[in-house]
Chain A
Amino acid sequence: MYKIGLFIPCFMNELYPKASMDTLKILESFGLEVEYPMEQTCCGQPQANTGCAKETSILAKRFLEIFKKYDYIVAPSGSCVSMVRYNYKQFLEGLDGFEHIQKNTYELIEFIHDIVKPEKLNVSFPHKVGIHNSCHGHRELGLASMSEKNVEPFSKIKDILDMVDGITFSKLERNDECCGFGGTFAITEEAMSIAMGKARIQDHIDAGSEYITGVDMSCLMHMQGLIDREKLPIKTIYIAQILSKGLK
């Protein structure tokens, strides 16, 4: 039996304990052995995306040391996983265990889809849901086919959500446009971030989504912030919170 190291992004640990707990519950519900190493903090993405290579390198090395002992590392975040898989190379190449974590770090849905491969889930969520394909999970990890490319359409996210009873999906005008969170972009380019977020939410409202769901809490936090300020008739829900309905 393999052992999973659970990585919870720093901001989720502080601000979204329930969504994080739901992530753990789902993994455990498959009978998997999951451990949350206590000394973990942050993968270094905010630093990396701002160009602070020295600082990123410190946090990347910490991540490697903490997680290299696990068979798999699973995180409820497409962008943190993308960081490990594609951006750590510059800082960790050649170090012991780097190739291992690069190959075996998975985003939650990707892990369920590719490794756990469940045949059914005992959950029901009778609502119309719009999937937010957050960019890093979508275009870097390849969780679904992107509109830019001429490839057979697929979506690992939808494959998993399809196992939920009663769920229906809204059809968006722009299936995979960025919501404008973008990490420190949300602050540096505030006006753009807001305009992009509002456009995304409006697309979901027009398509009749009751909920916007996705694999990145950060995008949802940004959109929920706009929804709350503007008092819009829609909610966001992190995907693990749908999948863990009814789990103890």
Chain B
Amino acid sequence: MSNIGHPEAASKFASDIKRMKWHDKALWFVRKKRDLQSHSVKEWEELRKIADKIKTHTLSRLDFYLREFEKNAKANNIEVHWAKDANEHNKIVLDILQKQGAKKLVKSKSMLTEECQLNPFLEKNGIEVVDTDLGERIVQLRHEPPSHIVLPAIHLKKEDVGTTFEEFLHTQKGNSDPTYLTHAARKHLREKFLASDASLTGVNFAISQTGGIVVCTNEGNADLGASLPKLHIACMGIEKIIPKLEDLAIFTRLLARSATGQPITTYTSHYHSPQRDGEMHIVIVDNGRSKILANDKYIKSLQCIRCGACINTCPIYRRSGGYSYGYIIPGPIGSTLGASHDIEKNYTLPFACSLCASCTNICPVKVDLHEQLYLHRQDVVDAGLLDKTKYKALKIATWIMKYPLIMDISGKIARKIVPLLPRSIVYSKYNIWGKNRELPKFPKNSFKELYKARKK
């Protein structure tokens, strides 16, 4: 991933205007499908309220619900492991695989394992890892990270997929027919499934009361994985807990509608015990989450159910692409999580936002996304990471604004002088506003002057 900040990466993405517009349109299409679905559920806003309440409550007693979950899962013959960070998580997974002599792992989508960089770690240790979600497989073959949490290959056109498959799956040259490519992928993945020794899935919801987990997919790949090999490992962040089975219905009604505009995902699979003669393990990961849990300003970001709606609606994401964020999760939710995780590395992310608040209002669990990004900006300043010139300019502006007379005089001088200056000076390279926009025409008098004159 890039080391440059968001503005530079975004500007690069947007310089291919045609591709930028295509990317924007593709995601807006998903947003519109979501609108149709959410508008067809008349209690939609009520569902959001309840989901928010359940999540708020759960987070307030997370230690209790996690222990309950562990107890109940163990009673179901599931082994439960705790990992304080990515490193521990990766080691635990490797350890489980090695104990079983497993060499070939099929994975269904898990953003957590992306966050922990599990794949390269396992590969280094001699394990073959195959991502089995179609989009994930495409980016895996291309050695790219996902550019979106629900639509990992959304940055690619079908022609890009065609050439990738040509190279790795030996499909016909120049054939980018989606049905043809999907069949080729399916055949390829079936072979991988049948030859696998173990599977790894993510977790959408972990139910404290029952000690089971729920995974939502559209391709059924989690189910194939969890049913074919005897060993199933499920990895989850500590925030995936919901208290009761009844609560699940609230979230499944919100999740797919928000994510892709479907009423429900094709598969909603419940795993409550290992298969016969098999093993099931759940790895529960902190990796910085308890730090967020302890912070009132950002705690709600742990409510996220990873639907991606805030990403699809974000007018910046749609025009800058997932990689511009340089963090594993893009868009509004990624920007707040990234800033919480490592402000120094991700200090441009809270500013990759016009504070339009679309994200906050679309979020099915009411994460206060734009408010968090607004507050993270104060952390950036406190950490001394704000661009020095900008900081100085704002300090001077504040000083001027403390003294109305000085503001009036500076305003008057600017209004007098700017119109007299040659265009080359007014529109010099320091005038970022004027790079692609005209300045407003400077009037002779300020409002205050007109007001005074009128009163006389």
Contacts and interface: CB of A to CB of B under 8 A. Distances in A.
Contact of A228 (B320, B377, B438): B438
A195 B14 contact: yes
A17 B408 CA distance: 13
B404 A38 contact: yes
Q: How large is the interface on A (under 10, 10 to 19, 20 to 34, 35 or more residues)?
A: 35 or more
Interface string B120-132: 0000000000000
Nearest to B42: A150
A194 interface: yes
B24 interface: yes
Given A55-B394, A188-B7, A191-B10, A12 B432 contact: no
A190 B435 contact: yes
B171 to A, nearest CB: 35
B374 interface: yes
Nearest to A41: B401
Contacts of A53: 378, 381
A47 interface: yes
A17 B449 contact: yes
A166 B7 CA distance: 44
Contacts of B456: none
B411 A58 contact: no
Contacts of A180: 315, 354
Contacts of A146: 358, 361
Interface in B275-319: 313, 315-316, 319
Interface stretch (B33-41, B92-100, B239-247, B259-267): B33-41
B7 A139 contact: no
Interface in A20-73: 20-21, 24, 36, 38-42, 44, 46-53, 55, 58-59, 62
Contact of A135 (B357, B377, B404, B437): B357
A48 B386 CA distance: 13
Q: Which of A36, A52, A59, A139 has the most CB of B within 10 A?
A: A52
Q: Which of A16, A36, A87, A196 has the most CB of B within 10 A?
A: A196
A219 B354 CA distance: 11
Nearest to B47: A150
B397 interface: yes
A185 B353 contact: yes
A132 to B, nearest CB: 12
Interface of B is mostly: helix
Nearest to A140: B357
A195 B319 contact: yes
Nearest to B309: A148
B41 to A, nearest CB: 7
Contact of B445 (A17, A147, A181): A17
B445 to A, nearest CB: 6
Contacts of A38: 404, 448
Given A177-B315, A192-B10, A225-B433, A149 B411 contact: no
A14 interface: yes
Given A53-B378, A149-B45, A178 B356 contact: yes
A161 to B, nearest CB: 22
Nearest to B407: A41
Contact of A13 (B6, B377, B411): B411
Contact of A191 (B14, B42, B356, B376): B14
Nearest to A18: B443
Contacts of A221: 440
A33 to B, nearest CB: 14
A222 interface: yes
Contact of B381 (A21, A51, A196): A51
Contact of B386 (A44, A50, A177, A228): A50
Interface in A208-227: 221-222, 224-226
Interface in B10-56: 10-11, 14-15, 20, 24, 28, 35, 38-39, 41-42, 44-45
Given A149-B361, A189-B10, A52 B432 contact: no
Contact of B438 (A13, A44, A59, A225): A225
13 contacts: A10-B407, A47-B398, A51-B386, A52-B386, A55-B395, A135-B354, A135-B355, A139-B361, A177-B356, A181-B354, A188-B7, A188-B351, A225-B437
In the complex, the 5 A-B pairs of residues with the closest C-beta atoms, listed nearest first: A51-B377, A182-B354, A225-B437, A191-B11, A178-B356
Given A136-B355, A225-B438, 20 more contacts: A17-B443, A21-B447, A21-B450, A41-B400, A42-B397, A52-B395, A59-B398, A139-B356, A148-B361, A177-B315, A180-B315, A180-B354, A182-B354, A188-B7, A192-B315, A192-B316, A192-B320, A222-B437, A224-B440, A228-B438
